[in-house]
Structure 1
Amino acid sequence: MPLNEYLDRWLFDVAKNKLRARTFDNYESLLNCHVRKKLGAKRLSDIQAYEVQKLYNEMKKVNYSPKTIRHVHNVLSSALKQAVKWKMLMQNPCDICELPRSEKAEMMYFTPEETAKFLNAAKDDKYFPVFLLAIETGMRPEEYLGLQWKDIGFENKALSVRRALVVKKGGGFIFTEPKTKKSRRSIPISNSLIDALKIHRRNQLEERMKLGASYQNFDLVFASEIGTPLLHGNLLRRHFKPIRDKAKLPKIRLYDLRHTTATLLLSAGENPKVVSERLGHASIVLTLDTYSHVLPTMQKTATDKIEKLMRGK
């Protein structure tokens, strides 16, 4: 059996049943772009470790990042691991390949001053409430773009994260479960955010009334002019980037607003467990590892606190 045929079988008989739609699309794309052309025509049973290693080495030569090479490796290795289970291979050739050392990317985020500057620059934008909510809650883009009005508790001043919006490959969208079990959470929200959301809802209702039956109502908090989901790419290109660049702020990504939330809270001395729960991380270990750049500041704050306590202050 050619490797390409086996990969199809693995993708659609195994991976698709276990993976979220976006993850499945990523797996399929990585195999199509990097593996199939080089190794796909070879028989599965003839794939050798040195050939897989050569694939990784060639990717490195044309400047693919260690992260991308590792992603390709993880997907291919998972596929071939299943072949071993099915006794189609004696061993997984990926197991003995050497991978480039992973380089930890520098964390990008706004400082407190930059955050205030960004929000001030965004205040007249239609989607200002999106940015305010993103920074206040630390939610992932797919989480806040999947929010429905029934998730907003105006009375108890909290919102519920129950789903994620996933744009399907080739068009369309679906709602899926949040990333992890801990991602399903309730997050308290401020009076300022509640006020912004109330104004946003009123404006949205006016747009809906004008369009009448043409408005596609999915009960989304953040929707397009016709009610369909607000796409991450459109929010980024048409709103976030122009606001960020006009304010002459660092070129962080939309996702980095989440990093901004965590960094600001940890730098201010907030309990890491509270921050971890707010972000919906699987564990506090992940939070501390991801935001290790804040640890020196936290240690300095702890030193100052213990010094004051020892002096009876």
Structure 2
Amino acid sequence: MASYSVAKRPNGRWRARFRGPDGRERSRHFDRKVDADRWARTQVGRIDRGEWTDPSRGRITIGEYAPEWLATKVRIRPSTRLMYDVLIRNQILPTWEKTRLDAVRYEDVSVWVAKLHDGGLSAARTRHAWIVLSQILDLAVRAKRIPNNQAKGVELPALPSKSERDKVRFLDEREVWHLAEAAGDGALTILVLAWCGLRFGELAALRCGSLDPVKRELRITWTLSETGGKQIEGPPKTESSIRTVPLPAWLCDRLMALTTGRQAVDYLFTAARGGPIRTGNWRTRVFDPAVKRSGLASQVKGDMLRPHDLRHTCASLHIKHGTPPKVLSEMLGHASVAITLDRYGHLYPGDVHLYVDRLGEVALAARADFLRTSGTSGTPEGAGRALEIASDLRKQVLGAVAQSVRAEDS
């Protein structure tokens, strides 16, 4: 157990002393004995609990320590590393660059988070910036530079609710073709996104060799992402996103024509001046003008169609035409069918009566067969009772299915 001493100096002040885990003696002077005793007891208490840190190690600034933290992130994708670097430069360093690790205070972090969000930064981006700062401080705690992380527990801006996230735009079949027609030379990118459900980064990373015309499939193995104006090619966001996506025959033929005379390593879709397409340029030059020309949206706040809505459109059309959730989940590259049902489950209830009616018809046929073979089907009483039983059965099935759908949505 660590010990300390408090002694009065010739000048009348009180000196508190203790020996740290590193063997070095440390001291501080106070005007009052009670303050000296309190400080010394706090230091030895931290030593006994394994929480003591050398004050000199916390004097490094956030600007100096952030690169050390980033260097420890050895298992992240290049695009994620670039995103962290941008967050550090644009959101963290303008406020914290000259601040020492041991000078970060909870209330200052709270004010910083509020200013970021009030300044127009989205809730998600504000949270990302806070996460990076908090992880920098977490590393400092583990490295025994500071005793605790002052960013923990800070109130963060709320993310959009599930009901708000569900307010996405789904196009019907005719609207997809209308949008593609309005896109001119960019029509094929619209059709692949809407009928195959690819993420834009997956579309941009497609090579001519990604197309298998025999199996009528696209092989998704890479994605292109943009951060800070740079394009980074890497693996898709999850292991399940590495997949094959089946193609309608007519779409496969169009893509085959696009690969004629080109190498397998060439990008399938290219920008006007060569190289892979970029989401910002594609949206400005192809997507937004096509949306406006087709009259699907004005592309102003409150009336917008996003490129990612084409992925949602693909899911909604598959659900509309009876594609099983498990098959749809694999096509979209979701990690599990639960993600698919959580995201698109609200599109299923409209068809519940169709499924119930099918099962109800089977139930009535089975009941009629039972009554006929039991010899009661010829009596009015038996027929009436059969109808009552069938009606009750239909109500029970309808209730059970509706309850199941509600459970999936919740």
TM-score of the superposed pair, with normalisation by structure 1: 0.84
Shift of 1:64: 3.5
User: Which of the two has higher C-alpha Rg?
Assistant: 2
Q: Tell me what 2:325 maps to.
A: 272
Shift of 1:121: 3.1
Q: Tell me the distance in 2 between the aligned counterparts of 1:93 and 1:41.
A: 17
The partner residue of 2:200 within 124, 141, 159 is 141
**1:266–1:298 CA contact under 8 A, matched in 2:** no
**1:269–1:301 CA contact under 8 A, matched in 2:** no
Q: Tell me the distance in 1 between the aligned counterparts of 2:324 and 2:111.
A: 47
**1:27–1:75 CA contact under 8 A, matched in 2:** yes
> In structure 2, do the counterparts of structure 1 residues 31 and 304 end up closer, same or farther at CA, with 3 Å as the change threshold?
farther
- Percent of aligned positions with the same letter in both sequences? 28
Q: How many pairs align?
A: 297
Matched, 1:56 2:113: yes
Shift of 1:130: 1.6
Shift of 1:163: 1.2
Shift of 1:181: 0.7
Q: Tell me what 1:238 maps to.
A: 285
Q: Please tell me the residue identity of whatever aligns with 2:143.
A: W
Residue-by-residue CA offset, 1:8-34 (whole Å, 9 max, x unaligned): 2212x123x322222222222223222
Residue-by-residue CA offset, 1:175-233 (whole Å, 9 max, x unaligned): 3112111111111111111111123234xx4xx7xxxxxxx994111123554212222
**1:137–1:189 CA contact under 8 A, matched in 2:** yes
Q: Tell me the distance in 1 between the aligned counterparts of 2:72 and 2:267.
A: 33
The partner residue of 2:82 within 25, 39, 46 is 25
**1:109–1:252 CA contact under 8 A, matched in 2:** no
Shift of 1:71: 2.1
Q: Tell me what 2:270 maps to.
A: 223
Q: Tell me the distance in 2 between the aligned counterparts of 1:89 and 1:140.
A: 42
Correspondence 1:101-120 to 2 at 5 A: 101-104=158-161, 105=165, 106-120=167-181
Q: Tell me the distance in 1 between the aligned counterparts of 2:318 and 2:253.
A: 22
Shift of 1:278: 0.8
Structure 2 unmatched ranges of 5 or more = 1-59, 298-303, 367-410
Q: Tell me what 1:41 maps to.
A: 98
Q: Please tell me the residue identity of whatever aligns with 1:261.
A: C
Matched, 1:258 2:308: no
Residue-by-residue CA offset, 1:19-65 (whole Å, 9 max, x unaligned): 22222222222232222222221111221222111112223433433
Matched, 1:185 2:243: yes
The partner residue of 2:213 within 154, 171, 183 is 154
Shift of 1:247: 0.5
Q: Tell me the distance in 2 between the aligned counterparts of 1:312 and 1:29.
A: 66
> In structure 2, do the counterparts of structure 1 residues 148 and 91 end up closer, same or farther at CA, with 3 Å as the change threshold?
same
Q: Tell me the distance in 2 between the aligned counterparts of 1:185 and 1:155.
A: 17
> In structure 2, do the counterparts of structure 1 residues 299 and 59 end up closer, same or farther at CA, with 3 Å as the change threshold?
farther
Shift of 1:99: 1.8
**1:147–1:161 CA contact under 8 A, matched in 2:** yes
In angstroms, what is the RMSD of aligned CA positions? 2.6
Q: Tell me the distance in 2 between the aligned counterparts of 1:137 and 1:174.
A: 23
Q: Tell me what 1:66 maps to.
A: 123
SS in 1 for 2:152: helix
SS in 1 for 2:322: coil
Q: Please tell me the residue identity of whatever aligns with 2:171.
A: F
> In structure 2, do the counterparts of structure 1 residues 81 and 109 end up closer, same or farther at CA, with 3 Å as the change threshold?
farther
Q: Tell me the distance in 1 between the aligned counterparts of 2:132 and 2:361.
A: 52
Q: Tell me the distance in 2 between the aligned counterparts of 1:292 and 1:22.
A: 31
Residue-by-residue CA offset, 1:236-260 (whole Å, 9 max, x unaligned): 1111111111000133112221121
Q: Tell me what 1:213 maps to.
A: none
Q: Please tell me the residue identity of whatever aligns with 2:293.
A: K
Q: Tell me what 2:254 maps to.
A: 196
Q: Tell me the distance in 2 between the aligned counterparts of 1:184 and 1:57.
A: 38
SS in 2 for 1:139: coil
> In structure 2, do the counterparts of structure 1 residues 296 and 217 end up closer, same or farther at CA, with 3 Å as the change threshold?
closer
Structure scoring higher RCO (CA < 8 A, sep ≥ 6) equals 1
Residue-by-residue CA offset, 1:86-124 (whole Å, 9 max, x unaligned): 2223222232112232223332332334223223434xx
Shift of 1:298: 5.3
**2:86–2:228 CA contact under 8 A, matched in 1:** no
Q: Tell me the distance in 2 between the aligned counterparts of 1:3 and 1:50.
A: 17
Shift of 1:304: 4.6
Structure 1 unmatched ranges of 5 or more = 209-215
**2:221–2:236 CA contact under 8 A, matched in 1:** yes
> In structure 2, do the counterparts of structure 1 residues 20 and 312 end up closer, same or farther at CA, with 3 Å as the change threshold?
farther
